Structure 1
């Protein structure tokens, strides 16, 4: 049965040093195998995993996050791809703040519509029909400007009928604007009515930022030019405001994936200077606490990006690594790992905590790596050995984890489930009891349906279907490990418990640093 080593023994006995050294050697060879699997299809996915973990860092202030990303945007080699990604975020989340900047750029608007019938029709062909109260988008701007300036521009309005419409008639029947040849009219305005493009009417129509939806890439390109060619104060002020308001998690998830490895490592080094480790972090209350502690305690040069990618993958992506190993393309790595672990001797509690003591003596990156690999082994062994609800419940009992089935209310304490002093025979008897009960239940169901052949066929189909469903979802339990706060199913428990092991062990290791 898998031992989780969730509590340190009261006696300070030490394990066999040779076994501890052999375990460290095994973990180092395991590291080589896992690194091969993680990077087999390139390193992009591993970088994406790391970016997701960075986004969980909780100790960064709004001003710090602003300074971090502005440093990237204003570097000696400007990251225009990063700027474009950021502008996409701003356009999506704050279009009403972008609109006023566009409203003041008449040449940008002229160029946007010139020679592009699709854009013209999408923006200006939105006149109100009979019964509707008002025109929308650019149609409102045309109608308002044309009435106010009818002496200089009414003749530039092109109508689809045999004759045009007078201002007096259209004023009483606004739906007549539906007879306007919008495409030809806007082309006339582009050539003969330059005042329209700097008018208050057109500016008002674009202030809400809705125009961005017509062709967002055009405006991204224009705003990048405003940033790096014209150094527009308005655009940089917009960016400053957004970087101060937006969540660090969202900025990291969206923007860091654009960076190559060199830039990402430089970002992490800048980030390390701003991290303020706190009590909650030392107690591993958040998913990225291990990374915060590592960045806060290490010199910039003592940890490489390769180490960070491996550490993060092992600590946060245990299930995904197992899936990768199971792929056909990783048969060689799978066989190597099985060969490595085939003779893996049972690790006693004393030897495990002796390993943790050794981790305390090592540099933080190496200590984290060893603890992370050891916790991943827990994930691997749980996934391999716990295949049935009975396996899981016996494992809970062996490790002192209280539990109850998610669909029941009675709490099952480990000491009640298997009283102190019970032998291994008791456990085997318990397991056999489960199997006998299942056989009895199956016989009862068969007797119930035996009188009808068609019912037997239905029973077989029902049993097969439910068997498949059981493999997919399995039983769920509420566990004492998280205060019975949520139900854990068979697929999720290995990951949950391996992360619990990692946090438990690291809290003890960090307490001695």
Structure 2
């Protein structure tokens, strides 16, 4: 029998069965060891980062302040700043380009002694009857013609003789005859005015120049941020941090954080989001994780956060990992733990007893054990509830009232259907509506995903070619948990499993 532990806690009627508690806690500790033997720590970190990225109540101001604080942390700032700059190069190069344009003279050193960079930025090409000028070439030719009195002699031509300004004014394509390499070398040596000119600054303003040598510009902007404390670069960074989607920032930045800083970020977010999320429905599993962590207070180590996240917010990923053929040994050990746990006499107040003994452990330890117990329950449900009969037995054993329904799908989100509320009225109008709905549903794809985007792992719908169970072999029920208005179909069994294991 699977005990869903749905009994309402009675703090004054808890039997302090120390032997039973010690046995259960020992098995849960064994489960923790098995999980860590199967899960790579780097993968567990990635799961935690994915959960954090799913927080949907983070304000733009909060995310800006949070990441800005991390950028100021000595042990983190260089790696995090580098990752952030690469992100900005990819998505908003013009923001940093505007900073560089105001200091374009520094690029004089960028091109000195580097013919490859010179040719990449200042080269040009001609196609058809028109002239396609690169940004650097355009800046060079515009500056040269505008300031011909100070730099025309520095232009190097490929032909036997040079071109006069008067000729180039009528035939600008003659600029194609310039020897770019030698001309830029002359400008580097004799025309310093070009490198701080409006023409050159305009050419780098959109940030395309960053792609010539990313590493150079990453280091340049890091120096601006931390050595020179240049205000303009921090203004741009703060603006960027306050505009990007939180999930995008997490996806690009969290992977480079040290454990201590990742732990700080999770703590800070959960402390601020927990109370706000408690007022919302659990429509996102990341919200529940934030609430749990916000209740934990002080943390022992990030490993506890990683484990708590794995058995709650990433429970499906963990189940999928353990179902892999290569994980047969951990799976056998978990099955053994399940057998031993089932052999312990049932205690309807097991959760209450664990919570009442929390003074012996830190809060996060208590929540961790409850999380392990809920995942073990999740694991058992995924294995043992595979047909309608097993589900009805589960309801009976856990005192969940239910009524059979002729429907094979869940009611609409806004409440029970007309059929459900009418005492299963089988009038012709209702039957017509039911047939229309069923006909429409047949056209829909039979591949379902849960609320957090994962495949319905519990039903093994991993292949598009795998069909749903025949409707003749399915059954639907209305449950008593909220006055028989919530529906459950064996097609949607994972919805109930998620709720049962996570307090829904």
| TM-score, scaled to structure 1 | 0.71
Shift of 1:187: 2.0
Residue 176 (structure 1) aligned with residue 178 (structure 2): no
Tell me which residue corresponds to 2:86: 88
Tell me which residue corresponds to 2:369: 370
Contact conserved, 1:2 with 1:395, CA < 8 A, in 2? no
Q: Distance in 2 between matches of 1:391 and 1:193?
A: 87
Shift of 1:53: 1.6
Tell me which residue corresponds to 2:35: 34
1:404-457 deviation line (CA, Å, top 9, x unaligned):
6679x9x998xx99xxxxxxxxxxxxxxxxxxxxxxxxxxxxxxxxxxxxxxxx
Between 1:153-162 and 1:142-151, the stretch displaced more is 153-162
Contact conserved, 1:65 with 1:244, CA < 8 A, in 2? yes
Which of 345, 353, 356 lines up with 1:358 in the alignment? 353
Query: May I ask how many residue pairs the two structures share in their alignment?
Result: 443
CA-atom RMSD, angstroms?
A: 4.4
Tell me which residue corresponds to 1:231: 229
Contact conserved, 1:73 with 1:83, CA < 8 A, in 2? yes
Tell me which residue corresponds to 2:379: 380
Which of 283, 305, 317 lines up with 1:308 in the alignment? 305
Q: Distance in 2 between matches of 1:376 and 1:205?
A: 58
1:359/1:15 CA distance change after superposition, 3 Å: closer
Shift of 1:96: 1.6
Tell me which residue corresponds to 1:48: 46
Shift of 1:474: 4.3
Shift of 1:77: 4.4
Tell me which residue corresponds to 1:460: none
Map 1:119-198 → 2, pairs under 5 A: 119-127=117-125, 129=127, 131-132=129-130, 135-198=133-196
Contact conserved, 2:338 with 2:376, CA < 8 A, in 1? no
Q: Distance in 2 between matches of 1:145 and 1:403?
A: 81
SS of alignment partner, residue 299 of structure 1: coil
Q: Distance in 2 between matches of 1:403 and 1:201?
A: 75
Q: Distance in 1 between matches of 2:25 and 2:235?
A: 53
Contact conserved, 1:277 with 1:293, CA < 8 A, in 2? yes
Tell me which residue corresponds to 1:299: 297
Shift of 1:225: 0.9
Shift of 1:244: 2.3
Contact conserved, 2:259 with 2:302, CA < 8 A, in 1? yes
1:479/1:79 CA distance change after superposition, 3 Å: farther
Shift of 1:185: 1.9
Contact conserved, 2:104 with 2:200, CA < 8 A, in 1? no
Contact conserved, 2:270 with 2:294, CA < 8 A, in 1? yes
Contact conserved, 2:125 with 2:131, CA < 8 A, in 1? no
Tell me which residue corresponds to 1:215: 213
SS of alignment partner, residue 162 of structure 1: coil
Shift of 1:190: 1.5
Shift of 1:220: 0.7
SS of alignment partner, residue 196 of structure 1: helix
Contact conserved, 2:267 with 2:294, CA < 8 A, in 1? no
Contact conserved, 1:121 with 1:182, CA < 8 A, in 2? yes
Shift of 1:31: 2.2
Contact conserved, 2:145 with 2:165, CA < 8 A, in 1? yes
Q: Which protein has the bigger helix share? A: 1
Q: Distance in 2 between matches of 1:101 and 1:502?
A: 52
